């Protein structure tokens, strides 16, 4: 892929790494390319970060044809920068594109473009413990007409943001509300795709939970409201009576790359792991009986996030006395160890710049 690079003439000052938060600060450049049905993907370019100019009838503004990804570049102790399983994000983006009738990306060339972009922005990868450079590729339909159909024009962009932890709690356990009213996705819908609309539709429940002091909601399935699905921005895992249980990929939850990585680590180490249906009744029984030993969420932004309290229909259950559990800590140490290059990557997940 031929990528033209135009450097900014007004580079911004790097932020204070002790107060990064999540997704509030953006780097100096962005990667862009354009798609049309006639020409395919063209005009790959790295340009100064700036506002976009979009036709008021652009498809994305009316019908929500937008998909995105999230991955991170990590600063190693030797100062080099590396990425974690980036090809998986590109593959998932293509599965999302197929679902939304958006054009798919050429895998290898897109990886090459992503690495080039990170190389240009690498100085923005922060050095402090627990920080990283969050990469947000997104792709949207950009026809200048109001007809409802698959688009003939699209835009693909990658922006980058130096980040700290996603939750204000950091590695401390978060409180999660089990949602029994709204649903996030149904089988046959867009649950497995990373499309903006899924997140827009989840905000109402998220706001209700936040008003009661909860960080996010845990969704139940959209048909019976009976089976555990996932949390707003992460997949979820439980340790029940020694067994690690995570909801199977039913089509309505996002196939998380962190989820997949946790499962691979746990299986390699001989843990008893099952991907299966987990009903709220089974979970409640485990919470009542005290056999729910640990619960955690996993995701790129959230990393491994211990869950210290679950609330369902007004009833509050402390998990592991509100403390981080042994398996949760072990997964956190292993994944972040590989991501920040502190421990050897036996899995072949790391891509160095
Ligand atoms: N589930 C949802 C709804 C998410 O937004 C995310 C974050 O990307 C995840 C799960 C975790 O996916 P991953 O581990 O690939 O970041
Ligand atoms: C991620 O973990 O990359 C996400 O996309 C989660 C979220 C901020 C939507």
Tokens standing for residue 256: 């998380």
Which residue, judged by its Cα, is nearest atom 9 of ligand 2? 233
DSSP string covering 321-339 = GGS--HHHHHHHHHHHHHH
Query: Which of 183, 299, 301 to probe ligand 1 with, by most ligand atoms within 8 A of CB?
Result: 299
Q: Ligand 2 mean position to 107 CA, how many Å? A: 21
Residue 162 CA to residue 73 CA, distance in Å, equals: 9
Its pTM stands at 0.96
pLDDT tens, N- to C-terminus, the chain (353 residues): 899 999 999 999 999 999 999 999 999 999 999 999 999 999 999 999 999 999 999 999 999 999 999 999 999 999 999 999 999 999 999 999 999 999 999 999 999 999 999 999 999 999 999 999 999 999 999 999 999 999 999 999 999 999 997 777 777 899 999 999 999 999 899 999 999 999 999 999 999 999 999 999 999 999 999 999 999 899 999 999 999 999 999 999 999 999 999 999 999 999 999 999 999 999 999 999 999 999 999 999 999 999 999 999 999 999 999 999 999 999 999 999 999 999 999 999 999 99
Any atom of ligand 1 within 6 Å of the Cβ of 233 = yes
Which residue, judged by its Cα, is nearest atom 5 of ligand 2? 70
Question: Mind listing the pLDDT tens digit for each residue in 227-278?
Answer: 999 998 999 999 999 999 999 999 999 999 999 999 999 999 999 999 999 9
The closest alpha carbon to 328, from 298, 284, 291, belongs to 298
Residue 338 CA to residue 349 CA, distance in Å, equals: 8
């Amino acid at each position: 892929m031929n990528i033209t690079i135009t450097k900014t003439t007004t580079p911004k000052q790097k932020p204070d790494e002790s107060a990064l938060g999540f997704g509030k600060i953006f780097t100096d450049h962005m990667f862009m390319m354009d798609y049309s049905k006639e020409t395919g993907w063209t005009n790959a370019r790295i340009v100064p970060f700036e506002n976009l100019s979009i036709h008021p009838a652009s498809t994305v503004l009316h019908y929500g044809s937008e998909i995105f990804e999230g991955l991170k570049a990590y600063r190693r102790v030797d100062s080099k920068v590396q990425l974690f399983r980036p090809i998986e994000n590109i593959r998932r983006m293509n599965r999302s594109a197929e679902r939304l009738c958006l054009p798919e990306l050429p895998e290898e060339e897109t990886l090459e473009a992503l690495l080039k972009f990170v190389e240009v922005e690498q100085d923005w990868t922060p050095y402090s413990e627990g920080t990283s450079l969050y990469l947000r590729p997104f792709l949207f339909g950009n026809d200048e007409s109001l007809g409802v159909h698959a688009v003939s024009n699209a835009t693909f962009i990658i922006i980058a943001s130096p980040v700290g932890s996603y939750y204000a709690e950091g590695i401390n356990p978060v409180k999660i509300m089990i949602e029994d009213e709204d649903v996030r996705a149904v089988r046959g819908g867009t649950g497995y795709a990373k499309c903006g609309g899924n997140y827009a539709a989840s905000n109402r429940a998220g706001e209700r939970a936040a008003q009661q002091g909860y960080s996010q909601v845990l969704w139940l399935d959209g048909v019976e409201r009976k089976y555990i699905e996932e949390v707003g921005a992460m997949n979820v895992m439980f340790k029940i009576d020694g067994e690690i249980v995570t909801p199977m990929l039913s089509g309505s939850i996002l196939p998380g790359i962190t989820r997949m990585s946790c499962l691979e680590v746990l299986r390699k180490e001989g843990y008893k792991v099952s991907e299966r249906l987990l009903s709220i009744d089974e979970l409640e029984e485990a919470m009542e009986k005290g056999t729910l030993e640990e619960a955690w969420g996993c995701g790129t932004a959230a990393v491994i996030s211990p869950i210290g309290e679950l609330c369902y229909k007004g009833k509050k259950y402390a998990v592991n006395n509100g403390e981080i559990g042994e398996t949760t800590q072990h997964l956190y140490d292993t994944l972040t160890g590989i991501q920040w290059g502190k421990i050897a990557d036996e899995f072949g997940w790391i891509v160095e710049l």
